[in-house]
Amino acid sequence: MSDNITFFCLVEGDSKEEVFEVEIEKKKSVSFLKEKIKEKVHPEFENVATKKIVLWKVNIPSGNDTMAVKIILNDIQDKLKLSSPTKIINKVFTENITDDFINIIIERPSSR
């Protein structure tokens, strides 16, 4: 059994064609996951503090039939905000991650 977990992630408002992969150890925290995601979405999140990044646990099929559809958080009913930065990943994702599904949505930072 692997000590790592791979997530398929997407920034809110992007289409499924823009999904990216992040792999981390299962015993790392939500805060560490945010750091890894920030590295992947550079430079878009360059001026966003890691602690300000908001992640949502989702389970959205990434099938080819709807690849161009933009993902909007308000349209997703089954989601869980990952609000505790100290929570360990394997305590949040207790079920197996399924291939061909988006697992994490990154809330697009509001422009101020």
pTM of the model: 0.91
Tell me how far apart the alpha carbons of residues 91 and 7 are, in angstroms, rounded to a whole number: 15
Which residues constitute the domain of residue 69? 7-97
**What is the predicted pLDDT for the residue at 112?**
43
- Asked if the structure places residue 102 within a domain, the reply is no
Nearest to residue 2, comparing CAs of 27, 21, 19, 20?
A: 27
Q: How many structural domains does the chain have?
A: 1
Q: What is the pLDDT of residues 38-73, one digit of tens each?
A: 999 999 999 999 999 999 999 999 876 776 788 999
The answer for 108, left when phi > 0, alpha when psi is -120 to 50, beta otherwise, is: beta
- 86 in any annotated domain: yes
In a domain, 111, yes or no: no
Residue 32 lies in a domain: yes
Helix (H, G, I), strand (E, B) or coil at 107: coil
Share of the chain above pLDDT 90, in %: 79
Would residue 103 count as lying in a domain? Answer: no
Task: Please tell me the predicted confidence (pLDDT) of residue 63.
Answer: 76
Task: Name residue 10's amino acid.
Answer: L
Report which of 74, 101, 108 is spatially closest to residue 19, judged by C-alpha positions: 101
How does residue 85 score in pLDDT terms, banded at 50, 70 and 90? Answer: very high
